[in-house]
Amino acid sequence: MAVGRGTVAFANVVVNVDSIVAEDVTLNTACSVDRDCAVGAHAHLAPASIISGGVRIGEGAFLGIGMVALPGVAVGAWAIVGAGAVVTADVRPGATVVGVPAREV
C-alpha cells in the first residue's frame, strides 16, 4: 500500500493491500479502497464510496456518496460518478454517470 503526499484520509477509511493512492486525494469518511486498486492524483472519494479489487480511478475523478465500483473497472480522469451509482463497466474520461447500473448522462 502506498499513499501519496497531501492525501487526506478521514475516519474509518480502509486502504487494502497492494493499492496505490496518489497525491492530493481525498478519502472521505468510511470509504473503502480494496486490494490492487489505483487512485489517481486529486481524486475525491465521497463518504461510504467503495471501490472493489483491481479498480482504476483516474486523476481528478469524483466518486459520489455510497457509490460502488465493481472489480476491474476503470473510471477515467475527471469523470463524475453520482451518489449511490453502481459502476459495472469502464467510465470514459470526463463522463458523468448515475444510476444502477451506472449510465452516462
Q: Give the domains, in start order, of the chain with CATH numbers.
A: 1-105 (2.160.10.10)
How high is the pLDDT of residue 1?
75
Please tell me the distance from the alpha carbon of residue 74 to that of residue 89, in angstroms, as a whole number: 7
For the beta sheet containing 80-81, the strands, ordered from the edge strand earlier in sequence to the opposite edge, are: 8-9, 26-27, 44-45, 62-63, 80-81, 96-98, 103-104
Buried b / exposed e along 29-46 (16+ C-beta atoms within 10 A)? ebbbbbebbbbbbbbbbb
pLDDT at 5 over 80: yes
pLDDT at 42 over 80: yes
What digits encode the pLDDT tens for the residues 56-90?
999 999 999 999 999 999 999 999 999 999 999 99
Which band of pLDDT confidence, cut at 50, 70 and 90, is reported for residue 30? Answer: very high
How high is the pLDDT of residue 29?
98
* Average pLDDT value for residue range 21-44: 98
Q: Residue 15: phi, psi to the nearest 5?
A: -125, 115
Q: What is the mean pLDDT of the chain?
A: 97
Question: Which among 64, 47, 53, 62 has a CA at the least distance from the CA of 11?
Answer: 47
